[in-house]
Amino acid sequence: MKMLKSTLAVVAAAAALGITGFAQAGAKLDAIQKKGFIQCGVSDGLPGFSVPDASGTIKGIDADFCRAVAAAVFGDATKVKFSQLNAKERFTALQSGEIDILSRNTTWTSSRDASMGLMFPGFVTYYDGVGFLANSKLGVKSAKELDGATICIQAGTTTELNVSDYFRANNLKYTPITFDTSDESAKSLESGRCDVLTSDKSQLYAQRSKLAKPADYVVLPETISKEPLGPVVARGDEEWTTLVRWVGFALLNTEEAGITSKNVEAEAKSTKNPDVARLLGADGDYGPQLKLKKDWVVQIVKQVGNYGEIFEKNLGKSTPLAIDRGMNALWTNGGIQYAPPVR
């Protein structure tokens, strides 16, 4: 009993001095609520992920994730402002506080998670891998036929190391040409300055869709790396990190439960399923535990959609990219997208 009292006394004293590990928890969310919007860092233009439409509105799965966070925090998915960033700029913008969240086809790696003052909350927006896009006139059907090729690569990405590792492991030689933006890389492929463009496969499909003659280019079959792409936040505020993580999990859990933008309000009022009731705020205080309203998940799905709806709208068969769900299908449908439960 004396030991317990002593421990409690130490904790209380530390809290009074502001030196507990939780002293700064909540500062980011409080600041965001005070300014009235979320500043979201996205790519400098990648179809399906984040790209301006004809009216200047940023569209894509990465942009929609930030809208989902805004819907959870404010009950209004429009309360988000976007900063378009290239690969070199993205981490500096987050480290400096210029943006609140980076949602920009960014690979989760150990060094980025541990040594840059950043944190990946643990939700993967899109499971991907590095591949190669080649002009069909080159006549290659496999990446292992690329010995001596000139390869366009976007600077400041994990692709540079992945390609170097792959060519070294397969005893192949290549000449890299690096560019600051993905558009510059694609234009160089189209002009013939390089033989092959390399990047995450999702980006290759997106870049191919912008070429003058997309049908002239083929994505080679090899996937040479693991690229879990997801949002990133600044390290040091567990509350904000946890909130962002659970917005992602809410997108997956609602799809798994069959909750869509069309039925979410009705389900919130009438569901008899205990899991759905907790998820949609009809039972328990799971929203307030995140400093959100009880209907935070309802607002996300009502305004932005569940994960499947967002995927299909931006990347799926009805879009120019026509990407299969593949690994990004739910675990119940043969994929690896899986979320812990709300309870």
Same domain for 244 and 221: no
| Tokens 């990946």 belong to residue | 120
Q: Rounded CA gap, 34 and 39, in Å?
A: 13
Separation between Cα atoms, residue 300 and residue 135, nearest integer Å = 41
Partnered with residue 199 across adjacent β-strands are 131
- Of 111, 117, 181, whose CA–CA distance to 102 is shortest? 117
**What's the pLDDT at 102?**
98
How far is Cα of residue 70 from the mean position of the Cα atoms in its chain?
15
219 and 237 in a single domain? The answer is no
pLDDT at res. 155: 85
Beta-bridge partners for 154: 179
- The DSSP letter of residue 60 is S
Give the pLDDT of residue 1.
Answer: 42
Q: What does each C-alpha distance from 117 to 3, 92, 112, 226 come to in angstroms?
A: 36, 10, 8, 23
Q: Which domain holds residue 184?
A: 130-225
Residue with the two structure tokens 């328990």: 284
Same domain, 105 and 250: yes
> Is residue 45 situated within a structural domain?
yes
Identify whether residues 91 and 181 lie together within a single domain: no
Domain contains 160: yes
Does residue 177 sit in the same domain as residue 316? no
- CATH number for the domain including 247? 3.40.190.10
Q: Are residues 320 and 173 in the same domain?
A: no
pLDDT at 207: 87
Q: What is the DSSP pairing of strand 217-219 with strand 196-200? A: unpaired
Closest CA to 68 of 127, 125, 152, 135: 125
């009993």: which residue's tokens? 1
User: Do 283 and 277 contact (CB within 8 A), yes or no?
Assistant: yes
Contact, 139 vs 220, CB < 8 A?
no
Q: How far is CA 213 from the centre of its chain?
A: 29
Residue-wise pLDDT for 103-115, tens only, equals 999 999 999 999 9
CA-based nearest residue to 209, from 55, 56, 49, 62: 49
pLDDT of the residue at 25? 52
214 and 123 co-located in one domain: no
User: Are 149 and 88 members of one domain?
Assistant: no
Neighbouring-strand partners of residue 131: 199
Q: Do 162 and 252 belong to one domain?
A: no
Regions in the chain scoring below 70 on pLDDT: 1-25
pLDDT tens digit sequence for 219-277: 999 999 999 999 999 999 999 999 999 999 999 999 999 999 999 999 999 999 999 99
Q: What was the pLDDT predicted at 210? A: 85
Mean confidence (pLDDT) of the chain: 91
Q: What is the CA radius of gyration of the chain?
A: 22
Distance of CA 187 to the CA centre of its chain: 25
**pLDDT for residue 157:** 84
Q: E strand or H helix at 80, and its extent?
A: strand 80-85
* Chain centroid offset of residue 156 CA: 17
The secondary structure element, H or E, covering residue 217 is strand 217-219
Q: What is the pLDDT of residue 343?
A: 92
Strand partners of residue 38: 80
Say how many domains are in the chain: 2
- pLDDT (0 to 100) of residue 10: 37
Residue 3: its pLDDT value, please? 39
Contacts of 155 by beta carbon, 8 Å cutoff, 6+ apart = 87, 88, 178, 179, 180
Query: Does residue 137 share a domain with residue 96?
Result: no
Q: The pTM is what?
A: 0.86
What phi and psi, each to the nearest 5 degrees, are found at residue 273?
A: -85, 120
End position of a domain, from candidates 225, 248, 274? 225
Domain shared by 166 and 202, yes or no: yes
